[in-house]
Amino acid sequence: MPTLKAVLGLETSCDETAAALVDEGRIVRASVVSSQIDLHARYGGVVPEIASRAHLELIGPVVAEAFESAGSTLNAVDAVAACSGPGLAGALLVGVTAAKALALVAGVPYVGVNHLEAHLYGAWLQNPDLKLPVVMLLVSGGHTLLVAVDGRGKYRVLGETVDDAAGEAFDKVARLLGFGYPGGPEVDRHARIGSPTAVDFPRAMRGSLNFSFAGLKTAVALHLREHPEVLTSEFGVDDIAASFQAAAVDQLREKLAAAADMVNATTLVLGGGVAANSALRSSVVELAETTGRDALLAPLELCTDNAAMIAAAGWWRLQSDGPTPLSAGIDPSARLPGSTP
């Protein structure tokens, strides 16, 4: 394997269209996420919300923006990585097809990257010298996963959701409370005003490392049907938001704590969009302090879907497995590689 330095990463698995340039799997030279920059103003045209067509329209501008912001060009790229799953088929195809084409044009290797594994590499991006094993809690709109990381490519899935993802529960409760979308940050904001003990919502799946949020969501819906007056009373929605958030965070914390004990983890790692939640962050920090472990909380730009983690994971995958054949396709229902569910 010749020395590789610069990897271009593409991420199109769900809502975000993202491109990043990362050197040696750790130095982020550019990381562009479509929702975070005003591509509309810069490149014109209508930017649709979801669906693969949005990725088609955004992938070119996002890649161009990544090169421009890094002061680099395709000629300086040593490999191209793309997220090949899990995700929405049509959306994944856009990133993978573009990555293969760019790799062909540049005459460099292509590497397909698993989205969930890439989130773990978000942690290595922050701290390349992470002492193993660590446990990572990956909580987003689409995923709720508790993983023991024993090494690069060596993972054990300890728990996952049996129904709704954590972020989905936050968004749906936000809708029940009449907050805007995305609802997670709104729940967080209202919860700071409300009382977390106003309503004793259920803490699900006690004694298991799996998660469940559907029952909690339904409990909030039922509470609001029985007490519709809280929607209009002062602090009513704040109390519900705080009580819901307390139940959700308790569940996440309890399982993270049990998993950390089980694998004797050095570090608690928190990733995914819900890792931006302030109550969850302080709960994980406090858990780490009381159990003598380190806490590694992803900064916001690495919490949510991004391509820096794809480029980083791609760089490491190239070292361990070499390039992915251009004939390889996408895998919309991919699981975490090297793991036992």
Partner 1 sequence: MELSLISGAPLTTQAVGQVLSEQAELGDVVILTGDLGAGKTEFVKGYALGLGISESVVSPTFTIVHEYFGREALNHVDAYRLESVQEYLDLGLEERMDSSVTVVEWGELVRSELSPNRLEVVIEFGVKDDARIITLRPMGDSWLDRLTALAPVLAVITPVEERE
With a CB cutoff of 8 Å and minimum separation 6, the contacts of 66 are 8, 19, 20, 21, 30, 31, 32, 307
Q: Return the residues of window 277-316 that contact partner 1 according to CB under 8 A.
A: none
| 316-335 footprint of partner 1 as x/- string (CB under 8 A) | ----------------xx--
Q: Does 64 bind partner 1 (CB under 8 A)?
A: no
Binding residue (CB under 8 A) for partner 1 from 12, 84, 161, 267: 161
Binding residue (CB under 8 A) for partner 1 from 20, 88, 147, 205: 88
Binding residue (CB under 8 A) for partner 1 from 35, 36, 52, 278: 52
Amino acid, single-letter form, for residue 231? L
- Residue 220 or 296: the one with the smaller Cβ distance to partner 1 is 220
CA nearest to 93, candidates 325, 331, 337: 331
Find the shortest distance in angstroms from Cβ 221 to partner 1. 4
Q: Return the residues of window 2-41 that contact partner 1 according to CB under 8 A.
A: 14
| Cβ atoms of residues 294 and 268 within 8 Å | yes
Binding residue (CB under 8 A) for partner 1 from 18, 165, 204, 284: 165
| Lookup: tokens for 205 | 């799946």
| Cβ atoms of residues 296 and 270 within 8 Å | yes
Q: What is the CB neighbour count within 10 angstroms for residue 229?
A: 9
Give the range of 36-44, 167-175, 260-268, 314-322 binding partner 1 by CB under 8 A.
167-175
Q: Return the residues of window 169-228 that contact partner 1 according to CB under 8 A.
A: 171-172, 175-176, 214, 217-218, 220-222, 225
Give the range of 80-88, 197-205, 286-294, 295-303 binding partner 1 by CB under 8 A.
80-88
Q: How far apart are CA 193 and CA 335, in angstroms?
A: 39
Beta strands in the chain (DSSP E): 6-11, 18-23, 27-33, 79-85, 110-114, 134-139, 144-151, 154-160, 267-271, 294-297
| Cβ atoms of residues 142 and 326 within 8 Å | no
Residues of this chain that interact with partner 1 (CB under 8 A) are 14, 48-53, 86-90, 140-142, 161-165, 167-168, 171-172, 175-176, 214, 217-218, 220-222, 225, 332-333
